[in-house]
Structure 1
């Protein structure tokens, strides 16, 4: 099922990839089935002291996803909406969202009218919108443009206690949540999310809250987001991770320019990471395009003032609106006491301050 997206060459691929992050449904009484399948060979120069060649089961440029979504017209401008979506491994067909998860990416049901959409279920928070609107390096370079770096002791619970996607722009789930996303008003959309902690006797413990706003006017875009997730393992569920982000983009002609800044803090330890992306993309022809993202990540004193510089670039060739081949290269250099580089989507950290990852792959959408 072909979908439209307003930004040219990556139209269908990105539309399908981020379909689970878009809650405003416009179809009339319909059900859609779609997804994205990607596979490739990846080479990393140093993982724990040795080179590694592997196939990333969840995809590198865009994650493998399958979704079912639908809407029913209830009359008077009111509609019911639902979404069920899963991440999966192309290597073995298994679920890539965690053991026991049938719909591991996003699943919700709700109501929509001219004012916006209200849903309940499992959602991505508004930090993810900074990627869906095209501000992050993740949007340009794929998963290797995500944020990780030499901050293994930052403690994010969804990355084995490390720092993978510490600012949540790659899209992390919030279970047991209610989310409102407004309709567009003169280019402005906004929203709020609340995740129930479910801890008896302490309503706010282990809870989550998120807010976001985005403004688009022709080639210009500006967005901001805030997310606070309390971890049941930190101070009885009263501490957790606070994320703030702001991004902007400008798309004159065949050029795509974007910038993103995020600040992430572990409120229990005081550890904080600032990350800054600057991205540029260009469509040489309708079939050939390229982009480059520079990312600087800096930890505070609690994280021993470690920091890293990273470049991520990609060249793509579109055989059609649905099928694309790509070459994706990312290089990171870390600094600070005992700093070991780690690019997001690699199997593990380098044994040194440097790491390079190269991917050659193909993806198709349906």
Structure 2
């Protein structure tokens, strides 16, 4: 009898430990390097930079098995600058991400908190600006379509991500303004659809911001999450890539409509340009942008790769037709599975915008704007993941 009771107790304890199985992981990515720019605010510049290609972050992520194919999941992530230790998102303890939710193997994942948007999740990985083989500095002008490497993080958001079904996944999200009597003031919503099967990857998405940067809400100017201060920003995107052997080739199109735009954030200066008529010019009215990107990556050896991308951006702004040509070339060498070094050059030329407009100045992402229509940057750096 005693043996039977002991066996039952041990079996129950074992069952509880299986259902309560959990894990917490500390992780991070460090990205730093030297950057030479031919023109920043009228001067050439050498600088030690952080996060030029990928966000420098550390974080905690975890999961707990709740049984019946259900898991509790969470992530706490902070972005910071390696050159001075400052927070990447000023005033935010976990500015990069902070969310918790439930993951069901057959039904998908529902999460709540400060998160990256669904279009960035699906279409972003198909662009050079999102990946380590291009990165943030290679983003489309002003990161107008929010497809660069996780530069915009959305507050007060509820996100659903489906499980894969024959290679197809779906995501949708809604981000609240959290304002009494102003439900739609600074809110965001969007959806995306992706297909991944063998060497082929396809994705499409839509994202909308209402009154972005207007006080607290989905995206704010206080933590620089808003790329634009505007009444409304709508983004459509579509992309795909194909891998054959050591090569991957991709195409991405995005369309951005910005109504009553008042300012654009400059990562290099840490300020919003255009709203008050500063040294780089004014900004106001409606702005339409179409981005056409072609990119490629080739692995010369398991450790050495080369990559490149070209983006043509065509715009419409208060009766003018601004346009940008942006090009990126990188070579990367992996010292190990977690550490690599890279050399990257990026070029941008702007033309067609009114001379007194912010849009007439070249401005590579993460750098201060040029005083002219052209900007060139070369960076040599290293990354370490843990």
Unaligned runs of 5+ in 2: 1-20, 218-229, 261-284
Residue 263, structure 1, aligned to residue 255, structure 2: yes
Out of 176, 194, 201, the residue aligned to residue 181 of structure 2 is 201
Q: 123-132 or 304-313: which moved more? A: 123-132
**Cα distance 1:272–1:250, how it changes in 2: closer, same or farther (>3 A)?**
same
Distance in 2 (CA, whole Å) between partners of 1:43 and 1:307 is 24
Report the CA distance between 1:192 and its aligned residue: 0.6
Report the CA distance between 1:314 and its aligned residue: 0.5
Report if aligned partners of 1:138, 1:144 keep a CA contact under 8 Å in 2: no
Residue 65, structure 1, aligned to residue 85, structure 2: no
Distance in 1 (CA, whole Å) between partners of 2:236 and 2:365 is 20
Q: Secondary structure of the residue that 2:318 maps to in structure 1?
A: helix
Q: Which residue of 1 aligns with 2:42?
A: 49
Distance in 2 (CA, whole Å) between partners of 1:78 and 1:138 is 31
Give a deviation string over 1:115-151, Cα, whole Å, max 9, x none: 1000110111122124553334432311111122xxx
Structure with the bigger RCO (C-alpha within 8 Å, sep 6+) is 1
With structure 2 as the length reference, what TM-score do the two structures score? 0.79
Distance in 2 (CA, whole Å) between partners of 1:166 and 1:233 is 15
With structure 1 as the length reference, what TM-score do the two structures score? 0.83
Q: CA RMSD in A?
A: 1.9
Out of 144, 147, 153, the residue aligned to residue 166 of structure 1 is 144
Unaligned runs of 5+ in 1: 1-27, 149-163
**Cα distance 1:253–1:225, how it changes in 2: closer, same or farther (>3 A)?**
same
Report the CA distance between 1:335 and its aligned residue: 1.1
Q: Which residue of 1 aligns with 2:98?
A: 107
Distance in 2 (CA, whole Å) between partners of 1:136 and 1:127 is 15
Give a deviation string over 1:6-38, Cα, whole Å, max 9, x none: xxxxxxxxxxxxxxxxxxxxxx62111111111
Distance in 2 (CA, whole Å) between partners of 1:178 and 1:101 is 19
Out of 301, 306, 330, the residue aligned to residue 322 of structure 2 is 306
Give a deviation string over 1:126-185, Cα, whole Å, max 9, x none: 22124553334432311111122xxxxxxxxxxxxxxx3221112311101100011111
Map 1:308-327 onto structure 2 (within 5 A): 308-327=324-343
Larger Rg: 2
Distance in 2 (CA, whole Å) between partners of 1:294 and 1:246 is 16
Q: Which residue of 1 aligns with 2:370?
A: 350
Report if aligned partners of 2:128, 2:135 keep a CA contact under 8 Å in 1: no
Out of 187, 203, 220, the residue aligned to residue 167 of structure 2 is 187
Distance in 1 (CA, whole Å) between partners of 2:378 and 2:97 is 29
Distance in 1 (CA, whole Å) between partners of 2:129 and 2:84 is 28
Q: Which residue of 2 aligns with 1:251?
A: 243
Report if aligned partners of 1:331, 1:355 keep a CA contact under 8 Å in 2: yes
Residue 37, structure 1, aligned to residue 30, structure 2: yes
Q: Secondary structure of the residue that 2:166 maps to in structure 1?
A: coil
Report if aligned partners of 2:176, 2:187 keep a CA contact under 8 Å in 1: yes
Q: Provide the aligned length of Structure 1 versus Structure 2.
A: 320
Q: Which residue of 1 aligns with 2:197?
A: 217
Give a deviation string over 1:249-288, Cα, whole Å, max 9, x none: 1011100111111111113343111111100110000110
**Cα distance 1:81–1:303, how it changes in 2: closer, same or farther (>3 A)?**
farther
Report the CA distance between 1:232 and its aligned residue: 5.7
Residue 280, structure 1, aligned to residue 296, structure 2: yes
Q: Secondary structure of the residue that 1:42 maps to in structure 2?
A: strand
Report the CA distance between 1:67 and its aligned residue: 1.5
